[in-house]
A and B are shown apart, each in its own frame.
Chain A
Amino acid sequence: MATATEQWVLVEMVQALYEAPAYHLILEGILILWIIRLLFSKTYKLQERSDLTVKEKEELIEEWQPEPLVPPVPKDHPALNYNIVSGPPSHKIVVNGKECINFASFNFLGLLDNPRVKAAALASLKKYGVGTCGPRGFYGTFDVHLDLEDRLAKFMKTEEAIIYSYGFATIASAIPAYSKRGDIVFVDRAACFAIQKGLQASRSDIKLFKHNDMADLERLLKEQEIEDQKNPRKARVTRRFIVVEGLYMNTGTICPLPELIDDIDLISANMENALASIGGFCCGRSFVIDHQRLSGQGYCFSASLPPLLAAAAIEALNIMEENPGIFAVLKEKCRQIHKALQGISGLKVVGESFSPAFHLQLEESTRSREQDVRLLQEIVDQCMNKNIALTQARYLEKEEKCLPPPSIRVVVTVEQTEEELERAASTIKEVAQVVLL
């Protein structure tokens, strides 16, 4: 039955075709041809792409001149003529051929030339060779690494620790492992460059609060709370972090920890200073630290710490645990030199009295930073001539977020005797008077 109706409809259509007027058919024909043409023609392109001919393009390529890869560097830039140390950078250091007392390397506990540390490193060298030839995931985990992580966790009284093979990379990999785009991080203005790079890599929102100013931090937190209430859905997925330094390298001050919080989630530290080794570690609860084993970039994608350096760090920890008295000694020495350096005309001491690394800044700075730097360098050079090795604190001026003023950094170590400390203080006083008059 269906086919009959179909056929009948078809017959009707054909009849209609015969009966239609000519102009109607012609119009329909033209419309059909037009549709077919539109269907098969190319899509309309934006005007600009078809504007340049091949010849013009070749000319553009010929004419283009990029900047040079690196801009020229003036030959007398201090970084090109840096101090060359011959021999070990220990208490008596030979800088540029002159033997001086070292007030510049961060050798706080004097472990850089401790024979026990060297012996431990040597034993490890004999057993393992030097390199590890692989990241932690691919046969780069040695039993010394596991030992060191255990010892560090016990020493810091936390559940777990994870070690990195480079101090800078420790905090710079730890921060982006937790904080992602859209999270908020409250950080102190005087945070060091490594923290700044970690924050930059994490692409989170950064809110700076004034250095060691808890009231400012509280104000920012309250503002954030108001923001959250406006947009509760977003607030539920935004994580918030606070990043502070224990002892700020840029100012020598300590963060007011008790006011800040009651428990710390993650502690990150550097083994390159007191522990006389290389690398860094993070410690905290397992819940927090374990995440870095798969998402800490400096951990997963980089070769592990050479075992001899790990063994040196373990031995340094042993020494620290065996004589806890050295910390008190160090504190005493810091206090002594801090007091001795007060009252120098033209220089002020910046930093806590028990901080082993503090800064000497110009009391009245001249207008230009370059001039300040040159004055301070003069002081450093003359002290070097009198056998006291000092250094200016170096920064990358264009890259720092909050550039600290130029200063001389003085480091106190356990190995400096009281007499040497006195001598250093008086030398700096004399030189400052001569230069800054």
Chain B
Amino acid sequence: MANPGGGTVCNGKLHNHKKQSNGSQRRNCTKNGIVKEAQQNGKPHFYDKLIVESFEEAPLHVVVFTYMAYGIGTLFGYLRDFLRNWGIEKCNAAVERKEQKDFVPLYQDFENFYTRNLYMRIRDNWNRPICSAPGPLFDVMERVSDDYNWTFRFTGRIIKDVINMGSYNFLGLADKYDESMKTIKDVLEVYGTGVASTRHEMGTLDKHKELEDLVAKFLNVEAAMVFGMGFATNSMNIPALVGKGCLILSDELNHTSLVLGARLSGATIRVFKHNNTQSLEKLLRDAVIYGQPRTRRAWKKILILVEGTYSMEGSIVHLPQILALKKKYKAYLYIDEAHSIGAVGPTGRGVTEFFGLDPHEVDVLMGTFTKSFGASGGYIAGRKDLVDYLRVHSHSAVYATSMSPPIAEQIIRSLKFIMGLDGTTQGLQRVQQLAKNTRYFRQRLQEMGFIIYGNENASVVPLLLYMPGKVAAFARHMLQEKKIGVVVVGFPATPLAEARARFCVSASHTREMLDTVLEALDETGDLLRLKYSRHKKSARPELYDETSFELED
């Protein structure tokens, strides 16, 4: 999916790039100067924010060893396949029915090669079942395999109180029932669980209307519409907005749902380098000046697809620059704030608030309720005519069942909590706690010497592991020895040589939990030799003082 070598860096000064002498595309970044930027629309807007993003390159020996590891794995894979074909080794995988053996094979052999020989060896690190709410601590069901991960069985034991660094629980709103959830219980008892009809037919409940009004108020836009699934929000609404004869400019590392939506729409898709405004500008210029290929007709419209926070890289979109480009070239902007709504910005309103911009300047604001609100579903918000159009033409409104009422109630409750409409300031405190936790966690990890990607304010922290063997060892060690649940990601969700562990910091992680995790990471890092960074900073205890993390607003 993602191309290797697509890393970029946002420096403090826009016209100053530090290039590495070997001419690689990756650039090292250390803290740069203060950004003062006047926006192109003439309104001067200054913000004294340090934008610090880093995508450090791995030392050469690590890359060499990683590729060697994959090479050895592949060779062994061929050997095992050979043995299995000739019956020397027992084949544990499911096979096609006898009657259908002479059909064309259902799966390409090569497609499955990676799954069979590399993924299968370490697949106990994924799909781990849990049996409690995904709060800051959770219970993992223990499972073992007797045949090298081909099948699993549950021993019946439960590993209790594992620290959860894997679930997207940014504001800590996904927790087991407590009295504040009484409204959800009431809604469940009155409305039931299902709706059994689409929005256009008999499926619009008063709860949906209430929710949509509240979402619009939260985001400070004119109107909003909600859908039952976040993935489907993208894949069913982008085709409604653009079609043949339109151009989509999509970031290299966009999520599968955005890519699927773009493909289903039938528009022409061009990809620009991750978070790279120069690449985007070049594409925009070419598109406006030269029009459609071959016929030279002008494009009907141009839509830029970006995400607020990219979950695999931990980077935050360079919104001010993209807005400037958008205004100059009259393109439309679609931001997917799945990972940044509720988590980024002084009051949790997303990337527009983070950069101090007006949400009306973005044409389509999309987000999901799964991550910060502890529910499920997605929304699209923007001007009233956009939302009205989607109400009529969205595939989801016509053919898919609407959102379940207790889920809608949970989102309403979470929104009221964050906005402070329930009468307390706890929501705001949680947003600020999340920011503090994020900064602390990232700072400590960088000081320990790990390679961390991304913006210092992004709550998703990717820690690079590179080698496939270390990926498995890291995940297993952290769960079994240290009782910490982590998520590791490898190919194909990341480039082949950049397997990583991904931590999701939550507002409900206490300082003690974070310290436990950091200690465990320190030990594991030493054990597995993961501290690749060449920019080790000395520990400065005065930075851990909470007051220094107060946000500017």
Binding site for B on A (CB under 8 A): 52, 57, 60-61, 64-67, 69-73, 77-80, 82-90, 93, 95, 102, 104-107, 111-114, 117-118, 121-122, 125-134, 136-143, 145-146, 165-169, 172, 178, 192-194, 197, 200-201, 235-240, 263, 272-273, 275-278, 285-288, 290-291, 293-294, 297-298, 301-303, 305-306, 308-309, 312, 389, 391-396, 399, 409
**Contact partners of A80 in chain B: CB under 8 A:** 388, 391-392
Chain A proximity mask over B236-262: 1 for CB below 8 Å, otherwise 0: 100101000000000000011100100
The smallest C-beta distance from B447 to any residue of chain A, in angstroms, reads 27
B206 partner, pick from A86, A104, A122, A395, beta carbons under 8 A: A86
**CA of A240 to CA of B168 in the docked complex: distance in angstroms?**
40
**CA of A82 to CA of B398 in the docked complex: distance in angstroms?**
12
B300 partner, pick from A66, A70, A194, A308, beta carbons under 8 A: A66
B198 partner, pick from A263, A275, A394, beta carbons under 8 A: A394
**Contact partners of A197 in chain B: CB under 8 A:** 264, 395
Is the Cβ of B230 less than 8 Å from the Cβ of A303? yes
Report 22 cross-chain contacts, Cβ distance below 8 Å, ordered by A residue: A61-B289, A64-B329, A88-B192, A89-B195, A104-B202, A107-B194, A112-B194, A129-B135, A130-B407, A131-B134, A131-B374, A139-B134, A139-B166, A142-B131, A197-B264, A201-B263, A235-B104, A263-B97, A273-B196, A278-B193, A302-B232, A392-B201
Interface members, chain B 89-128 (any A CB < 8 Å): 94-97, 99, 103-107, 115, 119, 126-128
Is the Cβ of A138 less than 8 Å from the Cβ of B264? no
**Contact partners of B332 in chain A: CB under 8 A:** 66, 69
Is the Cβ of B330 less than 8 Å from the Cβ of A66? yes
Sorted nearest first, the 3 A-B pairs with minimum C-beta distance are: A166-B229, A302-B231, A70-B389
How many positions in chain B have a CB within 8 Å of any CB in the partner chain? 118
The smallest C-beta distance from A280 to any residue of chain B, in angstroms, reads 10
Q: Is B462 an interface residue when CB atoms closer than 8 A count as contact?
A: no
Is the Cβ of A66 less than 8 Å from the Cβ of B396? no
Is the Cβ of B410 less than 8 Å from the Cβ of A57? no
Contact of A396 with B398 at beta-carbon distance under 8 Å, contacts A84-B209, A128-B133 already known: yes
Q: Is B481 an interface residue when CB atoms closer than 8 A count as contact?
A: no
**Contact partners of B128 in chain A: CB under 8 A:** 139, 141
Contact of A70 with B241 at beta-carbon distance under 8 Å, contacts A133-B370, A278-B193 already known: yes
Which among A84, A118, A276, A302 has the greatest number of chain B C-beta atoms within 10 A? A302
Contact of A69 with B363 at beta-carbon distance under 8 Å, contacts A133-B370, A309-B404 already known: yes
**CA of A85 to CA of B332 in the docked complex: distance in angstroms?**
35
Contact of A129 with B177 at beta-carbon distance under 8 Å, contacts A61-B289, A201-B263 already known: yes
Is the Cβ of B196 less than 8 Å from the Cβ of A60? no
Interface members, chain B 263-288 (any A CB < 8 Å): 263-264, 285, 288
Is the Cβ of A61 less than 8 Å from the Cβ of B288? yes
Is the Cβ of A139 less than 8 Å from the Cβ of B130? yes
**CA of A364 to CA of B302 in the docked complex: distance in angstroms?**
44
Is the Cβ of A57 less than 8 Å from the Cβ of B193? no
A239 partner, pick from B104, B209, B239, beta carbons under 8 A: B104
**CA of A89 to CA of B194 in the docked complex: distance in angstroms?**
8
**CA of A155 to CA of B400 in the docked complex: distance in angstroms?**
25
Is the Cβ of B388 less than 8 Å from the Cβ of A167? no
Seed contacts A107-B196, A278-B194; 15 additional CB < 8 Å A-B pairs = A66-B300, A66-B331, A69-B301, A82-B200, A85-B206, A90-B192, A105-B203, A130-B184, A143-B129, A168-B400, A193-B395, A276-B196, A298-B231, A303-B376, A399-B395
Chain A proximity mask over B31-45: 1 for CB below 8 Å, otherwise 0: 000000000000000
Q: Is B147 an interface residue when CB atoms closer than 8 A count as contact?
A: no
**Contact partners of B173 in chain A: CB under 8 A:** 131
**Contact partners of A79 in chain B: CB under 8 A:** 200, 391-392, 397
A66 partner, pick from B302, B386, B487, beta carbons under 8 A: B302
Is the Cβ of A131 less than 8 Å from the Cβ of B198? no
Is the Cβ of A60 less than 8 Å from the Cβ of B289? yes
Is the Cβ of B189 less than 8 Å from the Cβ of A297? no
Is the Cβ of B194 less than 8 Å from the Cβ of A128? no
Contact of A288 with B106 at beta-carbon distance under 8 Å, contacts A85-B205, A90-B192 already known: yes
Look across to chain B and name the residue whose beta carbon is closest to the beta carbon of A160: B94
The smallest C-beta distance from A180 to any residue of chain B, in angstroms, reads 8
Q: Is B80 an interface residue when CB atoms closer than 8 A count as contact?
A: no
Is the Cβ of A131 less than 8 Å from the Cβ of B375? yes
The smallest C-beta distance from B326 to any residue of chain A, in angstroms, reads 11
Look across to chain B and name the residue whose beta carbon is closest to the beta carbon of A180: B108
**Contact partners of A278 in chain B: CB under 8 A:** 193-195, 228, 401, 404
Look across to chain B and name the residue whose beta carbon is closest to the beta carbon of A93: B202
Is the Cβ of B410 less than 8 Å from the Cβ of A105? no
B185 partner, pick from A82, A125, A392, beta carbons under 8 A: A125
**Contact partners of B491 in chain A: CB under 8 A:** none
Look across to chain B and name the residue whose beta carbon is closest to the beta carbon of A312: B193
**CA of A106 to CA of B129 in the docked complex: distance in angstroms?**
32
**Contact partners of B133 in chain A: CB under 8 A:** 127-129
Is the Cβ of A129 less than 8 Å from the Cβ of B288? no
Q: Is B3 an interface residue when CB atoms closer than 8 A count as contact?
A: no
**Contact partners of A395 in chain B: CB under 8 A:** 398
**Contact partners of B328 in chain A: CB under 8 A:** 61
A276 partner, pick from B167, B185, B193, B236, beta carbons under 8 A: B193
**CA of A399 to CA of B330 in the docked complex: distance in angstroms?**
28
Q: Is B78 an interface residue when CB atoms closer than 8 A count as contact?
A: no
Look across to chain B and name the residue whose beta carbon is closest to the beta carbon of A65: B330
**CA of A293 to CA of B95 in the docked complex: distance in angstroms?**
16
The smallest C-beta distance from A91 to any residue of chain B, in angstroms, reads 11
Q: Is B174 an interface residue when CB atoms closer than 8 A count as contact?
A: yes
Is the Cβ of B289 less than 8 Å from the Cβ of A57? yes
**CA of A354 to CA of B104 in the docked complex: distance in angstroms?**
38
The smallest C-beta distance from B295 to any residue of chain A, in angstroms, reads 14
Look across to chain A and name the residue whose beta carbon is closest to the beta carbon of B256: A301
Look across to chain A and name the residue whose beta carbon is closest to the beta carbon of B193: A312
A128 partner, pick from B176, B204, B257, beta carbons under 8 A: B176
Is the Cβ of A287 less than 8 Å from the Cβ of B301? no
**CA of A70 to CA of B105 in the docked complex: distance in angstroms?**
45
The smallest C-beta distance from B302 to any residue of chain A, in angstroms, reads 6
Q: Is B522 an interface residue when CB atoms closer than 8 A count as contact?
A: no
Chain A proximity mask over B380-423: 1 for CB below 8 Å, otherwise 0: 00000110111111011111110011110010000000000000
Q: Is B169 an interface residue when CB atoms closer than 8 A count as contact?
A: yes
Contact of A130 with B375 at beta-carbon distance under 8 Å, contacts A105-B203, A166-B228 already known: yes
Contact of A85 with B204 at beta-carbon distance under 8 Å, contacts A66-B299, A125-B184, A286-B94 already known: yes
**CA of A114 to CA of B166 in the docked complex: distance in angstroms?**
36
The smallest C-beta distance from B341 to any residue of chain A, in angstroms, reads 14
Q: Is B199 an interface residue when CB atoms closer than 8 A count as contact?
A: yes
The smallest C-beta distance from A73 to any residue of chain B, in angstroms, reads 5
A104 partner, pick from B197, B236, B256, B329, beta carbons under 8 A: B197
Is the Cβ of B373 less than 8 Å from the Cβ of A102? no
Is the Cβ of A84 less than 8 Å from the Cβ of B206? yes
**Contact partners of B202 in chain A: CB under 8 A:** 83, 85, 89, 93, 95, 102, 104-105, 389, 391
The smallest C-beta distance from A360 to any residue of chain B, in angstroms, reads 15
Q: Is B175 an interface residue when CB atoms closer than 8 A count as contact?
A: yes
Is the Cβ of A131 less than 8 Å from the Cβ of B373? yes
